[in-house]
Amino acid sequence: MSLTKTKIPKVAIENPICIMSTLWRRPDQIIQPWMFGHGETKATCLWLKGLPPLKPTNIVEGREARIHRMPPSENRGKLRSETYAGIAEAMARQWGEIANV
C-alpha cells in the first residue's frame, strides 16, 4: 500500500483479486492469461497510474483453471505467483514505449 502513496508518475501494481480493492480502490483493469497467449484463467488486477490499460495481444481458446487446481506442494505459492511471459511482454512493449517518452 505504501507504493500507492508515492509521487512516482507511472506506476503499475499487479496483484490477484484481493483486499486492495476494499482498502484502496477498485482496479483499473482485470486481465487474464488467455488474453496474452496462455490458455489459462487467472484473474489479475492492475492498478494503474500514468499508464493506459493493457491491450490484449493474443487471445487464445482452451481456457483452463490450472493454477486454481494446482495440488499442494512445497513450491505451490511460488508457482501460483509467477507472471505469465505473454503478460510481461505486453507490459514491456506497451508501457516501455511510454516510459521512454
Total domains present in the chain: 1
pLDDT value of residue 6? 87
What is the spatial distance between Cα 83 and Cα 74, in angstroms, rounded to a whole number? 19
Grid look-up 508515492 returns 6
pLDDT tens digits for 72-100? 778 766 766 678 899 999 999 999 977 55
pLDDT digits (tens, 9 = 90+) for 43-70: 899 999 999 999 999 999 877 776 666 6
Distances 80 to 15, 37, 45, 76, 99 between C-alpha atoms, Å: 11, 18, 15, 6, 28
Domain extent for 63: 2-99
Q: Give Cα separations from 57 to 1, 26, 44, 61, 96 (angstroms).
A: 29, 24, 16, 13, 15
Identify the pLDDT of residue 74: 80
